[in-house]
Amino acid sequence: MSELTHLDDKGAARMVDVTAKAVTEREARAQGFVRMAPDTLAMIVDGQHPKGDVLAVARIAGIMAAKKTHELIPLCHALNLTSVKVELTPQEQPAGIQIEARCKLAAQTGVEMEALTAVSVAGLTLYDMCKAVDRGMVIEQVRLLEKSGGRSGHWQAG
């Protein structure tokens, strides 16, 4: 196991210095799931939600969140993302919405946190828009699926 990079030799939190790192193409994919009542899912899929297009709003929220990750996670670098894609896929069994985010850039540091933040905020947006009809929704299984680029190369979840 490697050492924690956000701690200095005295154990104090620090932002990692990436000045000497090479700029490489980097990409990360993350996913999550919002479990909900079948009636809530049907309302979203059928476009009958009183707040409008729930999936479109959650998609935009996820994209915006990826771009603002450095403002939310204290030691993240501000990154110039070149691509953010958020896909929301309704699923009947179990009832819910599968969320997947993919972030890309050419930089000195990776985009895992941006992909994870996109998924998390898209899930929170789904919850916020639907809580009036389903307070029992669960945001779950938020995880990194894959990352590529940088010194550590390619990694994929098992």
d(CA 46, CA 90): 11
Indicate which residues carry an active-site annotation: 128
Residues 113/73, Cβ–Cβ less than 8 Å = yes
C-alpha 120/C-alpha 126 separation (Å) is: 10
Beta-ladder partners of 72:
none
HSE of 41 in the Cβ direction (CA atoms, 13 Å)?
A: 19
The phi, psi pair for 82, rounded to 5°, reads -100, -15
Cα–Cα distance measured from residue 3 to residue 131, given in angstroms and rounded to the nearest whole number: 41
Distances, alpha carbon 125 to alpha carbons 16, 54, 84, in Å = 31, 8, 17
